[in-house]
Amino acid sequence: MGTVIKRRDFTAVVRQARQGVFVLAQKLTVPIDAPAVNVGMLLGEAALTAKSRNAPIDIAHTLDTILGQESHDIILENTDILFSPEYGLDVIKMLLQIGRNQRFYLMWPGEITGDKLTYSEPDRFDYKEYNIKDYVDTYVVLR
């Protein structure tokens, strides 16, 4: 089950968590010494290459290949491509699956209200809602 934590508890929780997804509230700074990966740029390039070969792109596999080459702690930036309805991804579940023995830090590109994470607006085609309690090894870091 996912957990909501305060920023002040972040360091202690990170020390104990061998793996997981840390969802960070927008504009929240936390002490992370980790490389940043521009997910949108790298997946966009991979999608363009696949399209030029008339081949479908497997976002999860491609992201796994990209992030598997990185270190134990990775800051994920420019992640809006993961929420594209055409891919039909459960973004948090996918990150947990590919993040074996890794910790991902995801600046949430939407709203965080209690145990709920939302992407986009309810009346838009790309709206998605996540209940943090549905995920293990997932931490929502709030102010």
CA distances (Å), origin 71, targets 60, 63, 65, 75: 18, 14, 12, 10
Q: Which residue has the higher pLDDT, 74 or 28?
A: 74
**pLDDT, tens digit (0-9, with 9 covering 90-100), for 31-64:** 888 999 999 999 999 988 888 888 888 899 999 9
**Residue 69 pLDDT greater than 80, yes or no:** no
Q: What pLDDT, on the 0 to 100 scale, is given for residue 57?
A: 86
CA dihedral 99, 117, 9, 95 (to 10 degrees): 0
> Is residue 83 very low, low, confident or very high in pLDDT (cuts 50, 70, 90)?
very high
| Mean pLDDT computed over 65-85 | 88
> Is residue 86 very low, low, confident or very high in pLDDT (cuts 50, 70, 90)?
confident
CA dihedral 51, 54, 59, 62 (to 10 degrees): -90
pTM of model > 0.85: yes
**pLDDT, tens digit (0-9, with 9 covering 90-100), for 8-29:** 999 999 999 989 999 998 888 8
Q: What pLDDT, on the 0 to 100 scale, is given for residue 26?
A: 85
Q: How far is residue 95's CA from residue 138's CA, in Å, rounded to a whole number? A: 10
